[in-house]
Structure 1
Amino acid sequence: MSVPALPLTLIESLERRLVTAVTASTSSFTGTQQVQDWGGEWWEYSVEMAMTKGRDGRRLSAFLTALGGMRGRFLLSDPSIAQPDMTAAPVVVGAGQSGTMLLTGGWAASAPALLCGDFFSLGTGGETRLYQVTADTTADVAGLATLSFVPRLRSAPLSGAVLDVAAPAVALRLTAPVPTRIGRADSYRFSITAREAL
């Protein structure tokens, strides 16, 4: 079953944040803390959709209703991500990789690959995962580059898996039902909260 994509032209503004499963216990006597990292990391989004009218508003309402609340998933190609213009076709090099570093190939030789703050995604459909690069990376003479990023890989990508750097996306799931706010002159407004579909 295909995963629908949220219409980007209707997004007015959004907020993106990486949530980490970290807890802290603070001593009431000394103020010292013990921090526990449970390893979970995921993206959360708050999206304000632009006011739509008539048929467009009803179509967007139907898109959101058809998700069935938390039951459905959708893809978001984050429109706030301005990527560098490149002709590279990067892929994963080597199986069994994990953590927050990934050996990749297919970059222009001896040239910048991705820079700190850039994004890429791996996977397709409901398994599409979004990653943000945390350090500048330059490819070697063979076009290989090791990317450092967050969040950590959820599973080892296959060797040869394609990195989407042109329009990185993430599979999301609504965190609450989306009310349809209907105003005068058949106008519609929507506010969406969603988290990575894991």
Structure 2
Amino acid sequence: MVSSAIADAMRAEFSDLVKVPLTPNSDLSSLSKLWLEHVTLRHSALLGECCAATVVLNSPSTVSNSLVQSARDFGRSWGRLTRLLAEVKFVNEAQLKIDEQKNWKSLASDFTESGLPEPTLAGVLYASLGDIAIISDLYKSLATSLTLQLHAAFERLLQSSDDRNDVRCLIEESVNLLAKEAS
């Protein structure tokens, strides 16, 4: 299971989000989709496979494929939303510095020094479009979409699994905290 996530991460290394050519008329939904694919490969696949492996290892007998897939989807949804929130936090902190300096070029170049291992969607967009309002709206839209996906994945996981109230409550509380942070 984990080896497939490692293979996904390697594929993400060769999908360069920064080199996507953008114009003011570019379709942002296609860039969002590309970003989600990249984040899924690079960040979410491993968490998804770890969730699936946890289900398999914690099952006393054979486990259904639907439960394993539900756990995998839940982990991937969690990973995508977590990455988005990390980017939003980075962009918000960078915006404060940039507003002082009036230099948005640092958004694309200082991501490593600021704790992110790769460029952000905002950096790619700003380098080409130069409009922070578009970036903010796109992040809000993605946060809403990813929060809904996480809730849906959680519900599917609950439907596929045995009813263990203690675990369910803990996961539900965690999902709600992450969703609150995203809103």
TM-score (norm 1): 0.25
**Quick check: which has more Rg, 1 or 2?**
1
Q: More helix per residue: 1 or 2?
A: 2
Give me the TM-score of the superposition, normalised by structure 2: 0.26
More strand by share: 1
